[in-house]
Structure 1
Amino acid sequence: MRYIAIQLRRGFETLIAVVLFSMVALTFADVIGRRIIGRPIYGAHDITEHLMALVVFAGLPLVTAACLHLTVDLFDRYLMTPWMRWWRVLTGLLVAAIFALMAWLFFRQGMTAGQISEVSQALRIPRGPIYFYMSASCGLSALAAALTAFTGPMTTDHHDTSEEAT
């Protein structure tokens, strides 16, 4: 199981790095074309929009599995005590349910986009596949949130010094 988690994490991290590099290169080329040559890259906005969705939703399962979402630690002194474990499990399951709902809504939107042939404005890139990708990401995040509700953060770092890693 740990091997699969490590490979999934590496795959998502590689995807994020490649997509971010692509966004930087595209933006650089678009700015150079716009400022120096006077001709921007046609459809750069559409491409950037889709690449941004890839980055955000590739990172969502990673952040969820590592329990790194933004939190307010105002009541941590009370909530992190052993007798409040039930509260942490309950909130983790609520987060999982919200992610599952988001996955379902993105899936439905993907189905609708396919039926009406929804496309991007300039390049006419079909929107359905990106909605299905977002749905899958939210589904993985729901699974990660449900698992971490009971087990805590999923660490897959080879240099982990916790007792679980040894």
Structure 2
Amino acid sequence: MLALARTIADRLVSLSAFLGAVALAVISLTVIVDVVGRLFGAPLYGSRDIVQMAAVFVVFGGMAYCERTGGHITVDILEPVFSARVNRALNILGSLIGAVVFALIAWQIWEASKLSVLLKMSTNILFLPRAPFQYAIAAMSALASLYLVLKALAGLLERSE
């Protein structure tokens, strides 16, 4: 069961990272078009809104992927001092704390998105509705939380050395 959940989570993480990569390409193209347009006196209208909203996917789209690949910073100066069992327990605890943090982010952003819908909040220039981007942050944060929970479970279930 855990293997199936991990497979599904891995695919969702890959999708999230892909969306982040596409958003990074959108940001790059937007900046290039805007800079070239400014050279000719015709900057890209709304480029700031596009870049800001795409940045949501770049940042949060890569969070779970970064965790999956071990890309987050860890401080391991005390690791040689502790036993393998203590280090494993600390890794599990770290994953659970991360899961709680990302779950809280998801919950708070979900609540903020309700307010954005109610108040019809949008970006300043293109008037893009903010709520869909907030829902995306909530979903990607929830995915990061789920992945960290699965990582903690895997750590709990692996055999002691």
Residues 1:6 and 1:83: Cα distance change in structure 2 (over 3 Å): closer
**Structure 1 segments of 4+ aligned residues over 6 angstroms from their partners:** none
* Map of 2:158 onto structure 1: none
Does the residue aligned with 1:123 lie in a helix, a strand or coil? coil
Give the structure 1 partner of residue 60 of structure 2: 57
Change over 3 Å in CA distance of 1:83–1:14 after alignment to 2: closer
Please tell me whether residue 150 in structure 1 is matched to residue 146 in structure 2: no
Distance 1:18 1:83, change over 3 A: closer
RMSD of the TM alignment (CA)? Answer: 1.9
Q: TM-score, normalised by structure 1?
A: 0.81
Say if 1:14 and 1:90 are closer, same or farther in 2 by CA, change over 3 A: closer
In the TM superposition, residue 124 of structure 1 has moved relative to its aligned partner by 0.8
Query: Percent identity between the aligned chains?
Result: 30
Which ranges in structure 2 are unaligned for 5 or more consecutive residues? 156-161
The answer to whether 1:20 aligns with 2:24 is yes
Shift of 1:53: 0.7
Tell me which moved more, 129-138 or 6-15: 6-15
Q: CA deviation at 1:5?
A: 4.3
1:65/1:141 contact within 8 Å kept: no
Equivalent pairs counted in the alignment come to 151
Alignment match of 1:106 (pick from 102, 105, 109): 109
Structure 1 counterpart of 2:136: 133
Structure 1 unpaired stretches of 5+: 153-166
